[in-house]
Amino acid sequence: MIKTERLLQDFIELVGIDSVSGQERAVCDALKARLGVIGLTASEDNAGGTMPEATGNILAHLEGSLPGPRVLFCAHMDTVEPGRGIRPVINDDGTITSDGETILGADDKAGIAAVLECLRTIIDERIPHSGITVAFTIREETGLVGAKSLDPFPRANYGFVLDATGPPGEIVVRAPSQDKITATVHGRAAHAGVNPEAGINAIYVAARAIAAMSLGRIDPETTANIGIITGGKAVNIVPDTVYLEGEVRSLKKAKREEHTALLCGIIEKTAREAGTRADICSTLLYDGYELGENNPVVQLAVTAARRCGLTPLLTQSGGGSDANILNTRGIPTVNLAVGMENVHTTSERIKVADLVSLTRLLVEITRSAGRF
Ligand code: ZN
Ligand code: CA
């Protein structure tokens, strides 16, 4: 049986340990200690660099007695801001929130707590299984940095990332790829009052380019955004430089490529027509994934959800997660809904009941994999 008190206590303790992206040292140490007590050997890689305070990803293994597929459970240790000094509150309505000053950090410590309680349950009840690998990653929120650098890369047959919003039972089987676009629009500086004729206004050029772009939701599968613009030094100087940063995401690779090329082309053409130029760069941040309903990892998640009384629902996501990296690197991986709500805001919350349901689902996935 899942021990709700133990699960809850773990979750409360973990969210109380600050771990904003890039500063996961304390929670990493706490988790390695917990895994050790549970009976797993946890190792830490060098994904965070080699400085003394740098934190790596945690990898841990539990060997099974059955010959079936090995499952991988993956959750991230870092949180967004404001994520320091979190004071969790258990409310009368069965939810857990922060005190309103910070995020809660259920994203993704709910996933971590569920994995720990799943391991304890499997061991306490001697549930036969075919092997579990656990990965707790760093810096997911700043671009899946930890997952990209997992070393050694875990070996597993089926991956389950615990990092989706929505009620437990929802299974993300499709997620977009993402491009990052950066551009420096060059103009020519001149005195704004004395000889503006000699200048080329980089702000004006950048503004014209952005006004010509289609941004926001492009189609049901594709989105685009310009999220950063900086430039200009003083009101009496025709500005010579503007820096832009944006992104394009799509569930379809071809659409992402096409829209990225379109936006870059608009910046290039607008600058040329203004008699100047722009340095434009686009990079693929991560690939997308799409798993069919007959894919074994999807079937395993669906079967396990039904077995523990949840309603399985296959969904798609507009965002990337560590599942994108695991899929790209050859481990078929779904992203499971954790129950967290209003993530990345100070009204983030999770129901205690959902935390318990998620843990049950992980236990059932492990048990079902052993019979797969
Ligand atoms: Zn997350
Ligand atoms: Ca997040």
- The arithmetic mean of pLDDT across residues 110-129, rounded, is 98
194-219 pLDDT, tens digit per residue, is 999 999 999 999 999 999 999 999 99
Give the number of whichever ligand sits closest to the CA of residue 111.
1
From ligand 2's centre to the CA of 328, what distance in Å?
Answer: 20
pLDDT score recorded for residue 77: 98
From ligand 2's centre to the CA of 193, what distance in Å?
Answer: 48
Paired tokens of 120 = 């304890």
pLDDT score recorded for residue 360: 98
From ligand 2's centre to the CA of 250, what distance in Å?
Answer: 19
From ligand 1's centre to the CA of 365, what distance in Å?
Answer: 21
Which residues are marked as active site? 78, 140
- The arithmetic mean of pLDDT across residues 25-54, rounded, is 94
From ligand 1's centre to the CA of 141, what distance in Å?
Answer: 7
pLDDT score recorded for residue 1: 82
pLDDT score recorded for residue 371: 80
pLDDT score recorded for residue 370: 85
The domains located in the chain, with CATH, are 4-175+288-369 (3.40.630.10), 177-286 (3.30.70.360)
41-80 pLDDT, tens digit per residue, is 899 999 999 888 899 999 999 999 999 999 999 999 999 9
When pLDDT is cut at 50, 70 and 90, the band that residue 88 belongs to is very high
234-268 pLDDT, tens digit per residue, is 999 999 999 999 999 999 999 999 999 999 999 99
Give the number of whichever ligand sits closest to the CA of residue 108.
1
Q: What percent of the chain has pLDDT over 90?
A: 97
pLDDT score recorded for residue 51: 87
- The arithmetic mean of pLDDT across residues 117-141, rounded, is 97
Mean pLDDT for all residues in the chain: 97
Give the number of whichever ligand sits closest to the CA of residue 322.
1
Higher pLDDT, 224 or 50: 224
pLDDT score recorded for residue 58: 98
pLDDT score recorded for residue 372: 76
Find tokens 């259920």 and name the residue: 106
